[in-house]
């Protein structure tokens, strides 16, 4: 089809013009009937957002995607190009993607009138039929709709009353295309008003010209449900004209969140080959973001983006890689101590409420990691807080006794794998507790989880230094110091 070069050839081919919304609807019907994947790579929306998107397209609606940051709104919009025909014919040289059989611009109308069936035809790929604009307070009506161009008027020697002096904005240039406005509330209210006619009547006017352009555009808007930027909001008449409002959401389970992180994280082939990340740590990484979304220190209206876990996972792998390179090792695996290398990925991606600001971003991040460790600990080991006082045997008794004897466990951030293993295995009873819990794989990983978990439940004390973690029994050390004072 895209070998056709003139309007006459296009007519003979049987081509029939149709609106973009009819085009997308027809292609969606075919894809649904053939059970083809439309939104490939979108995880966790199968039963919620995606069916709503499909219903909106079948209804030929303009769409508002409403959700907190990091909920794949822009990605969803960009994937709608899959529902367009691969190629679309336009009048050659047209600014407005004029349909050769239904031109709307003065240029195309005059050219078709002059050349008839010899009117040259060009073909536009579907990827070029997607236009995206980030709404900012400085966006003007001229940017979106258009304005009179005095330079064009002077060079063509035309009066300002001639429509050929118009410089068209982004919206008319998106005729027969998908037009996306991201962060719609950031668009000034008076600019939002300029969209009324286009959405309701499908036409537009520029600078008072008696010009009615019957534009065919699939509009997609994105916005946050809460105006945490304090810049503005979607005015009610505009919201009323957008037919389908679709609510996005964060992953509802750890498993879904893990799939998103593993899909999106930029891990090099060498990192994948040389650095092992146990499943426990993949789950622990996701649990940090779930903790953040429930934290009293973090503004829930702002949200916690999926980018937190994606960036955090990349940092986790890189922390282990750095240690491996320092120790000149060929392979390594991540540790819980590596999660302190994840803190920079957390602090930059959360908005703190007043109480959180008082704590400070670093302490809030530490708290999120601690709470996530406690949750993972309780999935495997007995809760130290719930052990009956009269129980004959404390499952952690041997470990307690080892630390009560004045022993200290030092875990250096940059310890080699061998040094780290030796340090863990010196703690009496640690490995036995892990094996008794039914763990047969990644024994050292769960031994480390056990140590950190016991410190979170205050069974032992943990001191975090710049480059190490020190575990000890605080009372035992106090007695040692008192005994030294006697001499």
pLDDT digits 0-9 by tens, 268-291: 999 999 999 999 999 999 999 999
Average pLDDT, whole number, for the chain? Answer: 89
Q: In this structure, how many other beta carbons lie within 10 angstroms of the beta carbon of residue 418? A: 10
% pLDDT > 90, the chain: 65
Average pLDDT on 117-131 reads: 95
Predicted local confidence at residue 483, as pLDDT:
45
pLDDT tier, 230 (very low <50, low <70, confident <90, very high otherwise): very low
**Separation in Å, CA 58 to CA 83, 84, 97, 246, 284:** 11, 13, 24, 14, 41
Predicted local confidence at residue 220, as pLDDT:
96
Average pLDDT on 93-117 reads: 92
Average pLDDT on 121-136 reads: 94
pLDDT tier, 394 (very low <50, low <70, confident <90, very high otherwise): confident
Predicted local confidence at residue 202, as pLDDT:
67
* 310 vs 388, residue with greater confidence: 310
Q: How far apart are CA 230 and CA 237, in angstroms?
A: 20
% pLDDT > 70, the chain: 91
User: What region, left, alpha or beta, does residue 364 occupy, with left being phi > 0 and alpha being psi -120 to 50 degrees?
Assistant: alpha
* pLDDT tens-digit readout, 409-457: 999 999 999 999 999 999 999 999 999 999 988 899 999 999 999 999 9
Residue 102: name the closest of 201, 11, 164 by CA: 11
Predicted local confidence at residue 209, as pLDDT:
64
Q: Report whether 79 contacts 39 (CB < 8 A).
A: yes
Average pLDDT on 91-101 reads: 92
* 215 vs 147, residue with greater confidence: 215
* Residue that is written with structure tokens 């962060």 in the block: 183
Predicted local confidence at residue 165, as pLDDT:
73
Q: How far apart are CA 206 and CA 146, in angstroms?
A: 6
* pLDDT tens-digit readout, 319-343: 999 999 999 999 999 999 999 999 9
pLDDT tier, 208 (very low <50, low <70, confident <90, very high otherwise): low
Q: How far apart are CA 296 and CA 354, in angstroms?
A: 10
**Separation in Å, CA 25 to CA 36, 53, 58, 84:** 14, 11, 5, 9
């Amino acid at each position: 089809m895209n070998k056709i070069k003139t309007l006459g050839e296009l007519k003979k081919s049987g081509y029939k013009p149709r609106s973009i919304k009819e085009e997308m609807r027809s292609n969606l019907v075919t894809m649904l009937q053939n059970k083809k994947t439309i939104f490939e790579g979108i995880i966790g929306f199968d039963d919620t957002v995606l069916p709503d998107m499909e219903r909106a397209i079948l209804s030929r609606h303009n769409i508002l995607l409403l959700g907190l940051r990091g909920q794949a709104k822009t990605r969803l919009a960009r994937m709608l190009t899959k529902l367009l025909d691969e190629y679309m014919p336009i009048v050659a040289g047209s600014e407005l993607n004029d349909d050769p059989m239904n031109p709307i611009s003065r240029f195309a109308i005059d050219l078709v009138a002059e050349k008839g069936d010899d009117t040259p035809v060009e073909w536009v790929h579907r990827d070029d039929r997607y236009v995206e604009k980030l709404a900012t307070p400085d966006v003007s009506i001229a940017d979106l709709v258009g304005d009179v161009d005095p330079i064009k008027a002077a060079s063509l020697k035309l009066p300002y009353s001639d429509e050929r002096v118009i410089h068209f904005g982004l919206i008319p240039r998106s005729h027969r295309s998908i037009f996306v406005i991201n962060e719609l509330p950031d668009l000034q209210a008076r600019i939002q008003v300029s969209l009324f006619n286009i959405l309701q009547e499908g036409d537009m006017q520029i600078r008072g010209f008696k010009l009615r352009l019957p534009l065919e555009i699939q509009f997609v808007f994105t916005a946050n449900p809460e105006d945490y930027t304090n810049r503005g909001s979607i005015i009610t008449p505009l919201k009323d004209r957008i037919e389908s409002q679709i609510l996005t959401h964060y992953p509802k389970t750890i498993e879904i969140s893990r799939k998103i992180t593993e899909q999106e994280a930029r891990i090099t082939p060498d990192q994948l080959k040389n650095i092992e990340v146990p499943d426990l740590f993949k789950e622990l990484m996701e649990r940090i973001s779930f903790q953040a979304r429930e934290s009293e220190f973090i503004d829930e209206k702002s949200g916690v983006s999926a980018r937190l876990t994606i960036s955090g996972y990349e940092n986790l792998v890189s922390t282990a890689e750095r240690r491996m390179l320092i120790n000149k090792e060929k392979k390594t695996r991540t540790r819980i101590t590596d999660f302190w290398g994840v803190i920079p990925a957390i602090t930059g991606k959360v908005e703190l409420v007043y109480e959180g600001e008082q704590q400070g971003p670093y302490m809030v991040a530490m708290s999120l990691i601690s709470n996530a460790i406690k949750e993972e600990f309780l999935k495997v080991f007995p809760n130290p807080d719930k052990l009956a006082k009269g129980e004959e045997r404390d499952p952690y008794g041997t470990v307690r006794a080892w630390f009560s004897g004045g022993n200290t466990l030092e875990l250096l951030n940059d310890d080699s794998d061998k040094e780290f293993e030796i340090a863990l295995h010196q703690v009496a009873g640690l490995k036995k507790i892990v094996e008794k819990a039914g763990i047969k794989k990644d024994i050292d990983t769960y031994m480390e989880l056990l140590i950190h978990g016991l410190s979170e439940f205050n069974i032992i004390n943990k001191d975090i230094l710049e480059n190490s973690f020190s575990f000890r029994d605080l009372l035992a050390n106090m007695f040692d110091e008192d005994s030294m004072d006697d001499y």
